[in-house]
Amino acid sequence: MQNEEHLRYIQQIFDRYLAIDRDSLEQITKHLKLIELPADSCVLPYGTIAKKLYLLYRGSVVSCFMDESGKQYHKNIFLEGAFVGSTVSAMDRTPSQFSLTCIEASSMFEIDYTTFRALINTDGYFKDFYIQYLEKNWIRDKEEREVAIVIQEATHRYKSFLEAHPNIESRIPLQLIASHLGITPTQLSRIRKKLTIS
């Protein structure tokens, strides 16, 4: 990968968790491939075994569960800088329990899961990075989100979401934002109306 803008971007993403050295940056970038996907592209269909992990460069992706009746539940919205994929499916080689779909036209860096896992197992930087990544995203941030859904009033959650992601409403359908916040689209409509009036 020779594009300096891409190299800087990748370095910034890894540096958020743990400062990456030049050798480790070169190691990861030689395995990354930039792919372009139009809006509504399915990155990972339900029930398929995940073989890739992605680093979102431009665009947005939503993860969806489906119940036995076919009703969809939106799990997460991923924006630029997010790592996207079904790690459980890739680790266990089992069918993914959710799908990943591009909400907008998206660009992402793709890496084979087995290659990334080999880097974690052989390169001290990536092992330490992975620990930092898991602790931040799947312990601290996950716990904060779960507590917020139970304790925080919906208006407060919505305002915090907008502060963290300015202009998100022009990019992401409101029903996905509502689902991500753990409220109904009707509740979100009322909140937005109340905030507009006040």
Q: What is the pTM of this model?
A: 0.87
pLDDT > 70? residue 29: yes
The three-class DSSP label of residue 174 is helix
| Predicted confidence band of residue 179 (pLDDT cuts 50, 70, 90) | confident
- Closest among 195, 188, 156 to 173, alpha carbons compared: 188
CA gap 68, 50 in Å, rounded: 21
CA 152 to chain centroid: 23
Higher pLDDT, 105 or 182: 105
- Range in 70-79, 133-142, 167-176 the model is least confident about: 133-142
| Per-residue pLDDT, 122 | 94
Q: Which amino acid would we find at residue 195?
A: L
What pLDDT does residue 60 have?
96
> Does the structure show a pLDDT above 70 at 142?
no
Tell me which of 2.60.120.10, 2.60.34.10, 3.20.20.140, 3.30.110.30 is the CATH number of domain 4-151: 2.60.120.10
pLDDT band for position 136 (cuts 50, 70, 90): confident
Starting at the edge strand found earlier in the chain, the sheet holding 42-44 runs 42-44, 99-102, 61-66, 72-78
